Structure 1
Amino acid sequence: MFREMRRGKQLLSMEETIAVMERCTNGTMACLGDEDYPYSVPLSYVYYNNKVYFHSAKAGHKIDAITKHSKVSFSVIDEDTIVSQEYTTYFRSVIAFGKARITEGEERLEAFRALVEKYSEDQPEEAKHREITGCTQACIFAIDIEHITGKEAIEYVNAKRK
């Protein structure tokens, strides 16, 4: 169902792909928006339990698009160094495909905890707990990943071989 990467030598291992997902702090989710126009939106996220979790308001373009059609793609760029003399960039990125859904119950709490830990780990435990249990305005979404690949510039591949 999902295409194989055309430049297979540049494919990251699953371990490297997961490491990119864990260390990046933002990505873009693409979905089918109003009148079937593509809609790509930047998100803060956490990769947790092999899923992508993010928060959202309870109303708006993002939630309308996901409710209409749950299939999405999510991408992150880990590295993007311009190498002007070579007319290129040295890059590392990941793209995931899956279905987005609103989380509930214990999954919502766990995902919210993971988001808070990723972005506010230096805050006092009681403040984090208040944020997690007291916030009822936000939806927490999960992207259940069906396919994920990472890719890096051929220059990084060649450097690893040396």
Structure 2
Amino acid sequence: MRAMRREKREITDISALKEILDTCRVVRIGTLDEEGVYIVPVNYGYEWEEAPGEKPVLKLYIHSAKEGRKADAFARRQEVSFELDKEVGVIRGDYSCSYSFAFQSIMGQGNIRKLSDLEEKKRGLTLLMEHMEPRCSISFTDEMLAAADVYCIEASWYTGKERRPAL
């Protein structure tokens, strides 16, 4: 992957990336289908998978209806990009073009895979529910699991970036 142009804005600390993932509620997934480029916002759950001597692997879990453009696009093409961002606030300036915006974000790429094993689907949906509403009582029947499509994006590449507010 191309190096970040403004290296001082790169977030490499995993705990800082985790804080962004914990704060955000929506990930935007980009793919390509027969109609063109397609971006879809979805809720997610996530986990890290340790890789000895390497950056941990980020896994994002999402769910979907079994039909529709999103399901068709994911079935057609497994390569996806993703982005999520946390608003920090407006950076005020002396004139209109000196204004900016403080943020933290994560962008990445990976392969999306539809989960078929019921235990995998349960794990993905549990992580999603724990992320969205940690106090929620979570239980799934086999019928519920069979009715939903659950996907895992295993990120082959990801990076964090931030623009800090002016002091």
Q: TM-score, normalised by structure 1?
A: 0.84
Instruction: Look up the SS of the partner of 2:126 in the other structure.
Output: helix
Partner of residue 66, structure 1: 74
In structure 2, list runs of 5 or more residues that go unmatched.
49-57
Partner of residue 76, structure 1: 84
Aligned partner (choices 64, 82, 89) of residue 56 of structure 1: 64
Deviations along 1:76-106, whole A, 9 cap, x unmatched? Answer: 0112412242411011111011011101222
Distance 1:75 1:92, change over 3 A: same
**Are 1:71 and 1:100, in contact at CA under 8 Å, matched by a contact in 2?**
yes
Greater Cα offset, 93-102 or 41-50:
41-50
Partner of residue 43, structure 1: 42
Distance 1:147 1:34, change over 3 A: same
Mapped to 2, the partners of 1:121 and 1:18 lie a distance apart of: 16
Partner of residue 110, structure 1: 123
Instruction: Look up the SS of the partner of 1:38 in the other structure.
Output: strand
Partner of residue 119, structure 1: 132
- The yes-or-no answer on 1:143 pairing with 2:143 is no
Structure 1 position 133, deviation (Å)? 4.1
Mapped to 2, the partners of 1:112 and 1:148 lie a distance apart of: 22
Mapped to 2, the partners of 1:110 and 1:151 lie a distance apart of: 29
In structure 1, list runs of 5 or more residues that go unmatched.
none
Identity %: 28
Structure 1 position 110, deviation (Å)? 0.9
Partner of residue 19, structure 2: 19
Distance 1:118 1:132, change over 3 A: farther
Mapped to 2, the partners of 1:120 and 1:83 lie a distance apart of: 31
Structure 1 position 121, deviation (Å)? 2.8
Question: AA paired with 1:21?
Answer: L
Q: Give the helix-richer structure, 1 or 2.
A: 1
Aligned partner (choices 75, 89, 103) of residue 91 of structure 1: 103
Detail structure 1 runs of 4+ shifted over 6 Å in the superposition.
none
Structure 1 position 11, deviation (Å)? 0.3
RMSD of aligned residue pairs (Cα, Å): 1.9
Q: TM-score, normalised by structure 2?
A: 0.81
Greater Cα offset, 78-87 or 93-102:
78-87
**Count of paired positions:** 151
Question: AA paired with 1:64?
Answer: D
